[in-house]
Amino acid sequence: MSKSIRFLLMVILGTGAWWIINTPNKAIIIGEAHIFKATPKTIIDVTLDYDYISKTVINDGSDLPAYDEVVLVDNESRAIVTAVDGWFWEVDLATGVAKQFVDAPLMPAGARLSPVNDRIIFFCSSLLYGEEYPEEERVGLYQMNIDTKKITPLVLDVPIVSNMGGEPKVFSVVDAPRINNSMLEEYESREFTFCNDLDVSADGKRIYFTEPFSYGEPSMGGGGTFKEALTLGRNGLVWKYDIGSNETSLVSQNFTFPDGVLVETNTQGGEDSILIAETVKFQIVRLFINGVRAGSYETLWENLPAMPDGMDRDSQGRIWVGMLKQRSNAVNWIHENPWIKPLLLRLPSGMMPISLNTSILGLSADAREAIFYSEHDGSRVTDISVVIPGKNHLYLATVGGASKGLYKVPFPEKL
**Apex 112 CA angle, 266 and 83, nearest 5:** 150
Inter-CA distances, 320 with 50, 108, 361, 395, Å: 19, 21, 6, 10
CA pair distance 166, 287, nearest whole angstrom: 17
Contact call for residues 262 and 202 (beta carbons, < 8 A): no
Residue 345: per-residue pLDDT: 81
Residue 113: per-residue pLDDT: 98
**Which residue would you say has higher pLDDT here, 276 or 183?**
276
Among 148-152, 166-170, 216-220, the minimum mean pLDDT is found in: 216-220
CA pair distance 6, 321, nearest whole angstrom: 57
CA pair distance 347, 337, nearest whole angstrom: 17
Q: What percent of the chain has pLDDT over 90?
A: 71
Question: Residue 275 CB: number of other CB atoms within 10 A?
Answer: 23
pTM of the full predicted structure? 0.93
Residue 23 pLDDT > 70: no
Is 165 strand, coil or helix? coil
Average pLDDT over residues 121-147: 94
pLDDT band at 34 (very low <50, low <70, confident <90, very high): very high
The pLDDT tens digits for 310-356 are 999 999 999 999 999 999 998 999 999 999 888 888 777 666 667 78
Average pLDDT over residues 4-20: 56
Residues in the chain: 415
The pLDDT tens digits for 69-84 are 999 999 999 999 999 9
Residue 22: per-residue pLDDT: 56
Residue 18: per-residue pLDDT: 47
The pLDDT tens digits for 175-209 are 788 777 777 766 788 999 999 999 999 999 999 99
Architecture of domain 30-410: 6 Propeller (2.120)
